[in-house]
Amino acid sequence: MQSTDISGVIDNARFNRFHWSVLFWCALIIVFDGYDLVIYGVVLPVLMKQWGLSPIEAGALGSYALFGMMAGAMLFGPLADRFGRKKVIAACVLLFSGFTVLNGFAATPGQFGVCRFIAGLGIGGVMPNVVALISEYAPKRIRSLLVAVMFSGYSVGGMLSATLGMLLMPTLGWQWVFFVAGALLLLLPAILLFLPESVGFLLRAGREDEARDILARLDPDFAAPAGVPLRMPAAITRGAPLFALFREGRALRSLMLWTAFFACLLMVYALNSWLPKLMVKAGYDLGSSLSFLLVLNFGAIFGAVGGGWLGDRINLPRVLAAFFALAALSIGLLGHPQPAWLLNALIAVAGATTIGSQILLYALGAQFYPMAMRSTGLGWASGVGRNGAILGPILGGALLGMELPLDYNFYAFALPGVLACAAMAVFAAGHRAPDLPALAATA
């Protein structure tokens, strides 16, 4: 029976107002997602002093949200493939924004940790789903770039968190940095109104008329005859989605993707949680130390967008391998005395090649996995990677508690970059599978 493959419509569409709308709402969600996540590193020095936390206790408290993120990524990724991405994204927004606001009312470390864990469920669940959604609608020639631009909102959120921390904490207290997160809750009705549902989900659910309406907005020239059904590409034909991640030549590269996620997220969360405290130890005041966190996240924007642009033109796994090598080098140099300009440059490069690379890993996963298993693939890669995110703050706390020389802390933070570089080199060396058409896309 004749049918219309929607992949060609999406891949070849011209970028238009529909794409702008999807990009805007997904990026806005990620801005608040990044804000809610980086916020712990901003308030950490104050909480350690107010609650008398040891470095090990502070590191463990910082990992509560990351345990939630691991569970959220593994739970909400498959749920979105089954029930639709739009509903799951809205539920995740409600979780992470609502409980981040409640964090501001915490009076004890225990209350704080519970709120961070529940907020982490939403933070971890929303990431793979917004990446999957924008990847599903992005034209092929700029897919990596659009994912990178959207995920740069994470760094914008981190910068906003550091800036508001410097402005609000001295006068209003650390609680107000958490209260600001409630702004996204006011926008939740608009998100439900304007964010489109996954076209692949609509077709699987038999809602073909809605899918046709979305495709007509995506490509005004789209005009499939009413009697000709739409066909979703790369559907799962056998087995459970989790096991499908390891079939048809995907096993080795799935494992390498998980390894890179683990190592990258370890670096990201070690730096975001402990960079201000380590800079205080190096002799800087708290305001200056928070400014380094600002530089770290500012650099990530250039790394994500520049890496996405290079990935669309060269080869994304190879770009990531080079980025991780630079991450290991720049982080390793942070523990040595440097002129102010060079120190800031190294921190910016570290942000570009750690946080920026995290963003690019989501783009890589979105291109690697077919549409029907994309949320599951990204959810599990992100969920496994959250073990590195959990380990990062704990590792930083343990190292600080051992009172090692400053440079040893940064050497430990740099080592995962070597592991991630090797994983991406193996990924890039694999034979290109039929479901991986965009990894070597050219303009």
**What value does the mean pLDDT take over residues 301-322?**
84
Question: Is a pLDDT exceeding 90 seen at residue 425?
Answer: yes
Average pLDDT of the chain is 81
Q: What is the CA radius of gyration of the chain?
A: 21
Higher pLDDT, 127 or 225: 127
Question: Is a pLDDT exceeding 70 seen at residue 429?
Answer: yes
Name which of 67-76, 91-100, 189-198, 419-428 the model is least confident about: 67-76
Pairwise CA distance, residues 21 & 217, whole Å: 11
What is the pLDDT confidence band of residue 368, given thresholds at 50, 70 and 90?
confident
Which residues on adjacent β-strands are paired with residue 231? Answer: 5
pLDDT in tens, 315-360: 889 999 999 999 999 998 887 777 878 888 988 999 889 988 888 8
pLDDT in tens, 208-226: 788 788 888 888 877 666 6
- The structure tokens listed for 352 are 């570009």
Residue 425 CB-density burial (10 A; 0-12 exposed, 13-18 middle, 19+ buried): middle
What is the pLDDT confidence band of residue 170, given thresholds at 50, 70 and 90?
confident
Name which of 12-16, 81-85, 421-425, 436-440 the model is least confident about: 436-440
Q: Report percent pLDDT > 70 for the chain.
A: 88
What is the pLDDT confidence band of residue 4, given thresholds at 50, 70 and 90?
low
What is the pLDDT confidence band of residue 57, given thresholds at 50, 70 and 90?
confident
Pairwise CA distance, residues 303 & 266, whole Å: 18
Question: Residues 376, 129: contact at Cβ < 8 Å?
Answer: no
Residue 206 CB-density burial (10 A; 0-12 exposed, 13-18 middle, 19+ buried): exposed
Q: Report percent pLDDT > 90 for the chain.
A: 16
Owner of token pair 């989501």: 362
Q: Nearest Cα to 130, choosing from 175, 178, 91, 179?
A: 91
Residue 107 CB-density burial (10 A; 0-12 exposed, 13-18 middle, 19+ buried): exposed
Name which of 163-177, 202-216, 350-364 the model is least confident about: 202-216
Q: What is the pLDDT at residue 416?
A: 93
What is the pLDDT confidence band of residue 8, given thresholds at 50, 70 and 90?
confident
DSSP for 260-309 reads: HHHHHHHHHHHHHHHHHHHHHHTT--HHHHHHHHHHHHHHHHHHHHHHHH
**What value does the mean pLDDT take over residues 140-164?**
81
Contacts of residue 237, Cβ cutoff 8 Å, sequence gap at least 6: none
Residue 230, helix vs strand vs coil: strand
Question: Is a pLDDT exceeding 60 seen at residue 53?
Answer: yes
**What value does the mean pLDDT take over residues 395-403?**
79
Name which of 219-228, 370-379, 394-403, 429-438 the model is least confident about: 429-438
Chain centroid offset of residue 298 CA: 15
Residue 106, helix vs strand vs coil: coil
Pairwise CA distance, residues 331 & 350, whole Å: 6
**What value does the mean pLDDT take over residues 400-415?**
82
Residue-level length of the chain: 443
Q: What is the pLDDT at residue 398?
A: 81
Pairwise CA distance, residues 183 & 368, whole Å: 34
Question: Is a pLDDT exceeding 90 seen at residue 424?
Answer: yes
Residue 443, helix vs strand vs coil: coil
Q: What is the pLDDT at residue 214?
A: 84
Question: Could you tell me which CATH class the domain 4-429 is placed in?
Answer: mainly alpha
Question: Is a pLDDT exceeding 60 seen at residue 89?
Answer: yes
Question: Is a pLDDT exceeding 50 seen at residue 34?
Answer: yes
Instruction: Look up the pTM and report it.
Output: 0.72
Indicate the domain borders of the chain.
Answer: 4-429
Pairwise CA distance, residues 80 & 231, whole Å: 20
What is the pLDDT confidence band of residue 438, given thresholds at 50, 70 and 90?
very low
Question: Is a pLDDT exceeding 90 seen at residue 233?
Answer: no
